[in-house]
Structure 1
Amino acid sequence: MAEKSSIFDMIGPVMIGPSSSHTAGVVRIARAAIRVLGSLPTHATITFYNSFARTYEGHGSDRAIVAGLLDYPTDDKRIREAFEHAKAAGLQYTFQGIGNASTMHPNTIRLQLRDERTGSEVDVIGQSRGGGVIRIVEVDGFPCDFSAGLHTLIIDADDVKGSIAFIADVIAHDDCNIATMNVSRKGKNQVARQFIEIDSALSEVALQYLRHLRWVHQVRYIPAIE
């Protein structure tokens, strides 16, 4: 006798299909990346790895990633015509696939983005974990692990004693709870990058205070992405 399906087996993200891994997750990776960049890009090099490299055209991941770079949400009907919208917006992009990256998650995407208007660049690696869930695992060569489902701070600061505790104290005094924190540096006494997920929004006053600290170089704030 066939097993009956539960309603809970069919619930997933509200999205344009065909697959939450290949569309919703891909859109969300791109939307997270443009928030790290701080603007919509004018140029993008998009690399699909492993299973994504073999299926991105047939499963619509190519359109999904371009739609995300235009900041379209996962349920936006314009995803199907993303290439046409990108052309109208002046977004230039290239695709490439690497099918045998054994150290990477099967559904991995690398986005190398540039905004010629501001001179900003960013290099983001994300994973689509299924059901629309993503993890951003690297930014500009700094390892990290955040979902973009919570409010996220990315802080570049001098690698000085007490800096992590000081920043955590500022966040706590703004009545925000830290969910996860990942600190990465490329060498001792070099600039360290802190990736901090928090449960609620940080106030503009707290953000400006952090930005004006002498030993803080850059603060990027990414509100939670639906």
Structure 2
Amino acid sequence: MRFKNVFSIIGPSMVGPSSSHTAGAVRIGRVARQLLGCQPEKAQMTLFGSFAETYWGHGTDLALTAGLLNFDTDDERIPEADLEAEKAGMELEWVQGRGNGPHPNSVKITLQAGGCKAEIVAASIGGGTIAVYSLNGFDVQITGEYPTIAVTHSDSQGVLASLTSLLSSEGINIGYMDVDRKGRSGAAMTVFELDSAPARVLIEEMLRLPHILEVTMIDLTQRS
């Protein structure tokens, strides 16, 4: 399966008590924050399955909040993430979802900061490993294990060719690519999991390509 790796066996460096409910949740929160591009002002977490049933006791709420604050999995401030969020002026809302969602340990996070919004659906699938199933309403899959670029664009001929050609010209290898579109000639999103993180100048070059609407870098490999 695509979402299995060594972390399923040994787990990440983390603040406990549970790799699924704590480390994985921190990483999900960080993906959501990076998708937004800044610290959120408002955050709504809709929890499903065991996340919804046990999040208070297992510290999932603190872990997700810590991720939104861009803390790493081993950050000693995780147990006080709710206080840190309050200091930062972040409004948090917790909602119990119906059913299990895409996985028993899953959450939908909706963020807002100023006029910017972001939404992800993700799950913690064991040993600190996560699976992200949706970014801003597009059905794509990423793991967070590799530097990832999420590109929102119009579904136009030549867009994917121009994006892959640009990455290749900079010597960056694509480990995985996924595409979702809203309809023919409508909005689309392509995600690239890369073997190495691109320079900021490459992101800027992507934004100058025809039909590109937004480019977002998600990189959990970088320490906060």
* TM-score in same-fold range (> 0.5): yes
Q: Which 4+ residue blocks in structure 1 deviate beyond 6 angstroms?
A: none
Offset, 1:129: 0.9
Unmatched segments (≥5 aa) in structure 2? 1-6
Aligned partners of 2:9 and 2:131: how far apart in 1? 23
Q: Report the 3-state secondary structure (helix = DSSP H, G, I; strand = E; otherwise coil) of the residue aligned with 1:225.
A: coil
CA change 1:46–1:157 in 2 (3 A) is same
Q: 2:105 aligns with which of 107, 123, 132?
A: 107
Identical pairs, percent: 37
Q: How does 1:61-210 map to 2 (within 5 A)?
A: 61-101=60-100, 104-116=102-114, 119-210=115-206
Equivalent residue pairs, number: 216
CA distance in 2, matches of 1:154, 1:174: 17
Question: Which amino acid is 2:105 matched to?
Answer: N
1:8-37 Cα deviation digits (max 9, x unpaired): 998321111110000000000000110000
1-structure distance, mates of 2:178, 2:142: 9
The structure with higher relative contact order (CA 8 Å, sep 6+) is: 2
Q: Shift of residue 169 of structure 1?
A: 1.0
Name the TM-score, length of structure 2 as normaliser.
Answer: 0.92
Structure 1 unaligned segments of length 5 or more: list them: 1-7
Alignment partner of 1:150: what SS?
coil
**Letter of the structure 1 residue corresponding to residue 204 of structure 2:** Q
CA shift, 1:204, in A, is: 2.7
Structure 2 match to 1:3: none
Q: Would the aligned equivalents of 2:106 and 2:124 in 1 still touch at CA under 8 Å?
A: yes
Structure showing greater Rg: 1
**TM-score with structure 1 setting the length:** 0.91
d(CA) in 1 for partners of 2:86, 2:130: 27
Please list the CA deviations of residues 95-139 of structure 1 after superposition, one character each: whole Å capped at 9, or x if unmatched.
1112523x52111011000012xx110111111011111111101
Structure 2 CA distance, aligned partners of 1:42 and 1:69? 10
